[in-house]
Structure 1
């Protein structure tokens, strides 16, 4: 299994949780799309949101920089409009869409101002933009070793291109000229089997960054694996949802 396929499987598990399902629905509501309006889901991954937006009556377009993810999305939904493209240079005409959505994308981009200028370009006047993302310093994990947990969370955040992008959504949108900007915070609480692979990746990232030793990684991961096995795992993840209108 490739790294992209492994990530897609993990995202599938997370996206199937009630919290994630409700959060996606909230993002669709904030788009306030007229029936039949065009909307782009940037960083669409395996295409779940594209399908859900289409089911709501939108003309949904999925764009992802990864050809592998687009191929996976097409295998799951051959009828969907799925395109390879960069958030900073979308394969869309000026003013082509009434809605723009990006979920867990901006932390991967070194300069969020660039994709927001591109979002403004492809949105028609009055179009709506919705951004979703987690703050990478905000992972809350129950552990017997809080100091090591703090080191793991912060080290993983430091390895992210733009770990604080979500806390900057409001000001970034204002700086780009969007209006009617709102921000909501939604905290997902995960306690089931999906937690353990997420925390394994978190610890591996901290070890890869040199912030913890392999022995610390192994001990912490073993504790979290046991917590997951006994139903005692706990991960809370604050998500920010920003919405605005293109003048």
Structure 2
């Protein structure tokens, strides 16, 4: 329906994760302000998945959550628009002896059978899409999930009030943690990418057919939504 005017997910906005140099420092730079291993353990517990569940991790980056889930015995497809990110995820899978499937795709063109997945996860990637296309993406995610399937979204999402102050604090926090590198990364995010308000994100999720089961917001700037079909 929208093929002629579809948004180009492969055109990098903000950080260019098609570049090998950016991918090479991705894990180390994120480790300065995130405990990724703890995040992944908590998420697997939160999802309450059956043994051997079918999962898609969209915007998988270098594959840490996908690898953690596959290591627990789940069947996982790791999806990303960056071939460089997928390349690093594949290297990790070989290094750790973990079986993963990979798909070079984004939210708007992934190929996953309808009603085939127990869960879809998305961490810090949906903000690469403008709001209209977030809605299209979420509808496609919902269609891929089984009845009762779970969708977990973690992203930079602004609180409905005091957003500018929250952003300023976040930029200062990133600078304190990682100097000019993380400061410029944070500034570039809000200047060039498409993070939105919580009230908009909730509306997009609900109008795409999701039931929001839990929401957690950290510092008014990072939100997690656990949803169900």
TM-score, normalized by the shorter chain, greater than 0.5: yes
CA distance in 2, matches of 1:155, 1:107: 13
Match of 1:171 in 2: 203
Higher mean C-alpha displacement, 42-51 vs 165-174: 165-174
Shift of 1:41: 0.3
- Does the aligned pair in 1 maintain the 2:139–2:209 contact within 8 Å? no
CA distance in 1, matches of 2:115, 2:29: 33
Q: Which of 201, 215, 222 is matched with 1:183 structurally?
A: 215
Q: Which of 83, 88, 94 is matched with 2:114 structurally?
A: 94
CA distance in 2, matches of 1:173, 1:141: 30
1:74 aligns with 2:105: no
Match of 1:219 in 2: none
1:120 aligns with 2:120: no
The verdict on how the C-alpha distance between 1:48 and 1:19 changes in structure 2, with shifts beyond 3 A counting, is: closer
1:6 aligns with 2:21: yes
Shift of 1:39: 0.4
Match of 2:58 in 1: 42
- Aligned-partner SS, 1:99: strand
Match of 2:227 in 1: 244
Q: Residue by residue, what CA displacement relative to the aligned partner does 1:192-236 show, whole Å, maximum 9, x if unpaired?
A: xxxxxxxxxxxxxxxxxxxxxxxxxxxxxxxxxxxxxxxxxxxxx
Structure 2: give runs of 5+ residues left out of the alignment. Answer: 1-16, 159-163, 177-183
CA distance in 1, matches of 2:197, 2:76: 25
Shift of 1:175: 1.3
Match of 1:58 in 2: 74
Matches within 5 A, 1:218-233: none
Q: Residue by residue, what CA displacement relative to the aligned partner does 1:127-184 show, whole Å, maximum 9, x if unpaired?
A: 000001124762241689xxxxxxx766751311x12266643222111111143210
CA distance in 2, matches of 1:155, 1:63: 24
**Count of residue pairs brought into register by the alignment:** 189
Report the structure number with the largest CA radius of gyration. Answer: 1
CA RMSD of aligned residues (A): 2.8
- Aligned-partner SS, 2:227: strand
CA distance in 2, matches of 1:157, 1:141: 13
Shift of 1:68: 2.2
